[in-house]
Amino acid sequence: MESSVLERTEDKTETLGVVDCDVHPAFSRPDQLSDYLPERWKQHVRDYAIRSANPLLGTLPYPRLTPGNGMRRDSWPPAGGPPASDLDFLREQLLEQCNIEIGILQPLAAGSVAFNMELGAALCSALNDWQIDKFAGPEPRLRASICIPQEDAKEAVAEIDKRVTDRRFVQIAMPPRTIEPAGRKRYWPIYEAAEHYGLPIGLHTSAFGYRPNTPSGWTSFYLEEHFAASNSLQTVMSSMILEGVFEQFPKLKIVLVEGGFSWLPSLFWRMDREWKRMRSEVPHVKRKPSEYAAENFWYTTQPIEEPEKNTHLLDILRWIGPDRLMFSTDYPHWDFDDPRYAFKVPLTPAEKNAIFRDNAMKLFRLQ
Amino acid sequence: MTSAQAEVKARPKREASRHVVARVDEVAEGKSKLVNVEGRAIAIFNVKGEYLAIANRCPHEGADLCRGSVVPLIESDTPGVVRLSRHGELVRCPWHGWEFDLRTGKSWCDPSRTRVKSYDVKVERGAALVEGPYQAEVYKISVEDEYLVLEL
C-alpha cells in the first residue's frame, strides 16, 4: 500500500514538471565569451586576460573531486566540449531525464568580480547576451539571470534597465562575497531597481569573490569551503535585514542559492533574541528580523542536508515554511541533486508541489 | 499442518539463475560494463583480471555506478601521510563520490546502511557453456571464447 501512495505522488510531479532554480551553463571553449565583447574589451582580454581574485586563470582555489572543476563524471557531452556547454545533451540529461519544466541559468564567471570593474561590466553584459544566444533563446525551458557588476551600482542598474524588457531574464544575479556586506548602502540602487521591476535577486554561493571564503581568511580544504558557503549567505541575510534594506524596499525579493537551509531557524532565533534586547542600536529595524526573512527571502534546496535521521528534515521544513524553499539541481556539478531521489523524507503532495514547482513559478512569475 | 502451510511448502524453490552477460574481452582491466539481467542494471568491473559485479544504481541518489571512477582504498593516520591499498577494488560514484567496495557492495563511510547488492561472476569457457544449462541471453556462444556468467 505504501508503495502505491509513493507512486501516485511521483506521477503527479512527473505530469507537473519541476522548476530547477540552479543550472550552470558553460562555455564550449575558454574564449567563447570574447565573441560577445565589444572590440575594445576583446582586445583587452586578448592582451591582458581576465583577472579576478582567483589564483590561477582557468582554475578554482581548491582541487575538486572530479575533472572539469568538479563536474558530474557522467555529464561530459558525447559530442565533446565541457559539461553543460552542449545544449542538446543538457536537454537530454537534465531537462528530459529529470522532467524539468523550467531551468534557471546561473552563470558562474568572473564578470561580477573582475578586478578591472569596467571590464567586469562588459563581461556581465556579454554573459547576458551569451545566455540568450546559446541557451535561453533556443530552449524556451531555460531562463536567464541578469549578471551585474554589483560593485559599480550605476553600471549594474544600467545593465538591469537594458535587460528588463526581455522576459526570458527572470532574476538578477549577484555574488554573495561582495566588497562590503550586502546590506550596505552602496548596493541600494540595485535593490531599488530590483524592487521597481519586481525581479528577485539571486545570490549564488560562489567559489570566487572579492573576499576570502571565511571571515578569517582562506580555508585549507575544498571540504571546508563547501560549507563555508553557508557563512557567506548568513552574512548576506543578517546584513540586509539589520541595515534596514527591507524597510526601505519592502517588496524586494532575495533568493539564497546553494548555501543550505538547515541553519536558517537558528539564525532566526538568534537574531530575534538579540533584536529584542538591543533594538535601540538599530531603530530602523522596525520588526523582528525573522519577519523580514519570512517575507523577503527564499532558498534553494541543493545541496540538500542529509541528517542522520531523515525525518528531522521535516522539522526544519516546518520552521522555515514550505513556501520559502525551491528545488535546485546544480547541474552539472558533482554535488547535483536529482529531483526523484534528493528529498529522502515523505512530503505531502502540497509541500512537494510547492517546493518542486509552485514556489518558483510564483516568485519568478514563470507562467 | 494447516492447508496454507502446505501450500507454501508445495511451491517450487527459486533456483539461482545463471546468465551469460558478456565476452571477457568486453570488460577491459580497470574498466566496467553495464549489463541488464532480468530487468536489473548491473555493473561489472574488471579488477586486475578478476570480475566483480554490483547493482548499478547508487543507493544515495541514483547515479550510474558504472560511470564512476575505479579507485584504491585511501587511508591516512596523520596529515601529510597517505596510504593507498586495494588498488582498483572500490568504485567512486560519479556524482557525490560515495565509495563502494566492489567485493561486498558496502560503502566505505556507512557500510551497514548504504550498500549495493553484489553478484557472483564466473569466467566460463564457451565450450562448457554450449553444453551447459545456462541462458545465453544475447550472446552467440563460440566454443573458442571465454564468457562472464553472472548468478542471480
Which chain A residues are closer than 8 Å to B97 by Cβ?
65-66, 334
Which chain B residues are closer than 8 Å to A342 by Cβ?
61
ipTM > 0.90?
A: no
pLDDT tens digits for range A33-67: 999 999 999 999 999 888 777 655 667 888 888 88
Cβ contacts of B11 within 8 Å, gap of 6 or more:
none
The residue of chain A nearest to residue B93, with distances taken between CA atoms, is A73
Distances (CA, A) of A11 to A275, A352, A360, A362, B60: 45, 12, 20, 22, 21
Angstrom distance (rounded) from CA A215 to CA A222: 16
Nearest to A302 by CA among A271, A332, A272: A332
Look at B95 and A336 and tell me if their CB atoms are within 8 Å.
yes
Angstrom distance (rounded) from CA A202 to CA A250: 17
User: What is the spatial order of strands in the sheet that A142-147 belongs to?
Assistant: A18-23, A100-105, A142-147, A169-174, A201-204, A254-257, A297-300, A325-326
The answer to whether the peptide bond before residue A303 is cis (omega within 30 degrees of 0) is yes
For chain B, the residues whose C-beta falls within 8 A of a C-beta of chain A are 60-64, 67-69, 92, 94-97
Angstrom distance (rounded) from CA A130 to CA A1: 49
Which chain B residues are closer than 8 Å to A335 by Cβ?
95-96
Specify the pTM: 0.87
Angstrom distance (rounded) from CA B56 to CA B113: 17
Cell numbers placing A182: 550586502
Q: What is the largest CA-CA distance in chain A?
A: 67
pLDDT tens digits for range A164-196: 999 999 999 999 999 999 999 999 999 999 999
DSSP-derived secondary structure for A155-202: HHHHHHHHHTT-TTEEEEEE-SS-SS-TTSGGGHHHHHHHHHHT--EE
Contact B30, B46 (CB under 8 A): yes
pLDDT at A64: 83
Domain extent, residue A288, equals 2-363
Look at A335 and B96 and tell me if their CB atoms are within 8 Å.
yes
- In Å, how far from its chain's centre is CA A224? 20
- pLDDT at residue A2 greater than cutoff 70: no
CA torsion sign for A274, A279, A280, A281 is positive
Smallest CA–CA distance, residue A272 to chain B, in Å, is 36
The residue of chain A nearest to residue B60, with distances taken between CA atoms, is A341
pLDDT at B3: 57
Q: Please report, for the domain that includes residue A322, its CATH number.
A: 3.20.20.140
User: Nearest 5°: CA angle at A118, between A170 and A200?
Assistant: 20
Which chain A residues are closer than 8 Å to B94 by Cβ?
66, 72-74
3-state secondary structure of A300: strand
Residue A317 pLDDT grade (very low, low, confident, very high; cuts 50, 70, 90): very high
pLDDT tens digits for range B21-65: 899 999 999 999 999 998 999 999 999 999 999 999 999 999 999
Domain count, chain A: 1
* Phi/psi-derived region of residue A99, left when phi > 0, alpha when psi is between -120 and 50, beta in every other case: left
Average pLDDT over residues B72-98: 94
Tell me the CATH class for B27-123.
mainly beta
Angstrom distance (rounded) from CA B120 to CA B104: 10
Angstrom distance (rounded) from CA A180 to CA B83: 44
* Phi/psi-derived region of residue B122, left when phi > 0, alpha when psi is between -120 and 50, beta in every other case: beta
Residue A10 pLDDT grade (very low, low, confident, very high; cuts 50, 70, 90): very low
